[in-house]
Structure 1
Amino acid sequence: MKKFTFLSSAILMMLFLSSCYTEVILEDVFIEDTPLQTRQVLEAYDLWYVDIQSTQGYGEVPFLQRAFTISFVNGLFYANNNISGIGKTGNGLGIRVGYYDAVAGVLEIDHDVDGIWTLEVIGVNSRTLELYDRRSNTSYYLDGYQRSNFDYDRLFYENIELLLQEYDVWEKTYVSDTGFANEFDEENFLQFFEGNSGTRFRSSVDALGTPLSNIVWDYEGFYEIYNVENDETLKTLTLDYAFMGNDYFELYVIDDRTIELYHPDSQTVYEFQGRGYIQYLKSDSAAKSRKRVKSNHPTMKVKRQRK
């Protein structure tokens, strides 16, 4: 195992003497100690979902900014940096990205790319932890899950933009028999990406099954994702076609590589599957890396129309 240096015993003693009495209950794990038995707490859950929306501060811990979930297993540090494959990659834990040790309310991580980081661990409630980076004055919040009860809907819908951009192409695989004919019926491929001036999409009417490298894009425009008031499991999508205005859809996630678009105007259901999976590993370099940011999708006051 890779070795690295931890905090000196003198510093640990100061932490011990200055810490407050802490009592934490995590599932069936009862922890009563002075200070918090950090390692036992971290290992009480299989997966810790990084709630990027709750992050406080203006700094950054690179590996936390990239990860959807992190896990602590016998000194090995794991992360799921992709939505696609989550629940399957690494038996659900993702890929090993480093090593860790934990003592007296302090977590030290030796990340394979980002190096050694020392974070303070603070219990928020029975399943939520705060990881505080004193150097940047930034806090990340983690919600604990077992693999058997992980909230995939939350993951998909809170990170829908990243899911759409995680594949090179989305290919149409299903069109409902019901519904009225409309111009979107001709579209067989969609691509979503971050442009210089906002989120953009491309569309193509090429024949289904066309190799990715041979697809000819017929149109490029802006797209926008919206939250829906009082409905956390529904997003709406507009595609800005200059020749016919915005095309409006209800956007549903079927699984980590299948989305459904419901077109209310024509009452047609479309399914698209992702092709050309883009894998994000440990590195923060080059084009194969990305960072999660707080979403700021506008909110629509609409009612779900898909029956």
Structure 2
Amino acid sequence: MLTLGSCYTEVIVDDVIVDEVPVQTRQVLHAYDLWYVDIESTQGLGEVPFLQRAFTLSFVSGLLYANNNLSGIGKTGNGLGIRVGYYDAGGGILEIDHDVDGIWSFEVYNINGRTLELYNRRSNTSYFLDGYQRSGFDYDRLFYENIELLLQEYEVWEKTYASETGYLNEFDEENFLQFYQGGTGTRFRSSVDPVGTPIPNIVWDYEGFYEIYNVQNDETLKTLTLDYTFMGNDYFELYVIDDRTVELYHPDSGTVYEFTGRGYIQYLKSGENSETRKRKKSDHPTMDVKRKRKPFSKG
């Protein structure tokens, strides 16, 4: 690894040679609009709270911005997210004064010109950031790598479309889904209340555990199983249409459903929601299946 504070090393970012020691770290941080926090690459057993919550960071003239939500990403704050603190950088050291989590110091290492390592001695933990310009950011990758968190960003998901093709099945009657983290795992509830029912008035008819699976050799497909208490399972191919719409394809019946998020839960800098939801390395099991449907084509 190459520390950005070395007095004798030139750092090249986008063909710009940075050789002035006091501004090396700052100039590297400014080279990209967005720094994606690659939580899968984190090393160490500690934790930096605001890095554990953020999907992206942006460093703009001493102000630190973060995208803590998937819904609205790319639009909130002109793509940068919300302001969460201040920073100062130089000589290979990044100091962050977070509005809620306080002051944190990081040693900054340049891995390959586009990837940075932020090492925090207090927690003995390294976070890795991948640089992107806003116009080239891979939102598909972001949604699919963090799909469980997207499902939990809304109080409920309301069925807004069901294809006319497909065999009748019991899931046709279910109009609302809710996904949440329970004490014993990932849980869901569903309701057959009419579409348009106000969220506080929804009566939950079924409940159980849900599981999201990766699919071998297919990064843009996830599968979802709903394990109903006392009622067996439902299996779906799960596709992201946009940041508040998902598609569930039910292979057993051949029916396509769309669900739209209602009751947006915003994860700001602090508060109960932010404390209970943190990103973590994926532990989704993998299925060896082939997709049965191309997404997004209604009919």
Question: Which residue of structure 1 lines up, in the alignment, with residue 101 of structure 2?
Answer: 114
* 1:250 corresponds to which of 232, 237, 241: 237
The match for 1:286 among 269, 272, 275 is 272
Size of the aligned set, in residue pairs, is 290
Q: Provide the alpha-carbon RMSD of the alignment.
A: 1.6
Q: Which amino acid aligns with 2:272?
A: A
Shift of 1:136: 1.4
Indicate whether 1:128 and 2:81 are aligned: no
Q: Which residue identity lines up with residue 230 of structure 1 in the other structure? A: N
Q: Say if 2:23 and 2:89, in contact at 8 Å, map to a contact too.
A: no
User: Counterpart of 2:178 in 1: which secondary structure?
Assistant: strand
**Aligned in 2, Cα 1:262/1:120: closer, same or farther, shift over 3 Å?**
same
CA distance in 1, matches of 2:45, 2:153: 26
Q: 1:36 to 1:247 in 2, by over 3 A?
A: same
Work out which of the residue numbers 69, 75, 78 in structure 1 matches 2:62.
Answer: 75
1:230 aligns with 2:230: no
Shift of residue 20, structure 1, vs aligned partner? 6.2
Q: TM-score under structure 2 normalisation? A: 0.93
- Structure 1 segment 1-307 matched on structure 2, within 5 A: 19=6, 21-32=8-19, 37-283=24-270, 285-289=271-275, 290-307=277-294
The residue identity in structure 2 corresponding to 1:65 is Q
* Mapped partners of 1:257, 1:239: distance in 2: 20
What's the secondary structure of 2:141's corresponding residue? helix
Per the normalisation by structure 1, the TM-score is: 0.91
Query: Sequence identity, in percent?
Result: 81
Whether the 8 Å CA contact 1:112–1:282 is kept in 2: the answer is: yes
Contact map agreement 1:23 1:36 (CA 8 A) in 2: no
In the other structure, the counterpart of 2:297 is none
Distance 1:128 1:271 in 2: 37
Counterpart in 2 of 1:11?
A: none
Contact 2:159–2:258 (Cα < 8 Å) also in 1: yes
Separation of aligned partners in 2, 1:302 and 1:53: 24
Shift of residue 287, structure 1, vs aligned partner: 3.7
| Offset of residue 23 of structure 1 | 3.4
Please give the secondary structure, in 2, of the residue aligned with 1:282: coil
- Structure 1 distance, partners of 2:116, 2:235, is 39
Secondary structure, aligned partner of 1:171: strand
Structure 2: distance between partners of 1:30 and 1:157: 35
How far apart, in 2, do the equivalents of 1:288 and 1:48 lie? 20
| One-letter code aligned to 1:299 | T
Classify the secondary structure of the residue corresponding to 2:111: strand
Q: Which sections of structure 2, spanning at least 5 residues, go unmatched?
A: 295-299
What are the Cα deviations for residues 145-180 of structure 1, in whole angstroms up to 9, with x where unaligned? 111111101110111111001100000011112111
Q: Any conservation in 2 of the 1:169–1:212 contact (CA below 8 Å)?
A: yes
1:100 aligns to what SS in structure 2?
Answer: strand
CA distance in 1, matches of 2:75, 2:64: 17
CA displacement at 1:24 relative to structure 2: 3.1
Q: Is the 8 A contact 1:22 1:35 kept in 2?
A: no
Per mean C-alpha deviation after superposition, the further-off stretch among 208-217 and 285-294 is 285-294
Distance 2:68 2:41 in 1: 18
Deviation at 1:134, TM superposition (A): 1.2
* CA separation of 1:181 and 1:56: change in aligned 2, threshold 3 A: same
User: Is the CA contact 2:53–2:274 (under 8 Å) kept in the aligned structure 1?
Assistant: no
8 Å contact 1:22–1:34 — kept in the other structure?
A: no
* 160-169 vs 289-298, greater mean Cα deviation: 289-298
Shift of 1:28: 4.4
Structure 1 CA distance for aligned equivalents of residues 8 and 174 of structure 2: 62
Q: CA deviation at 1:267?
A: 1.0
2 CA distance for matches of 1:85 and 1:28? 32
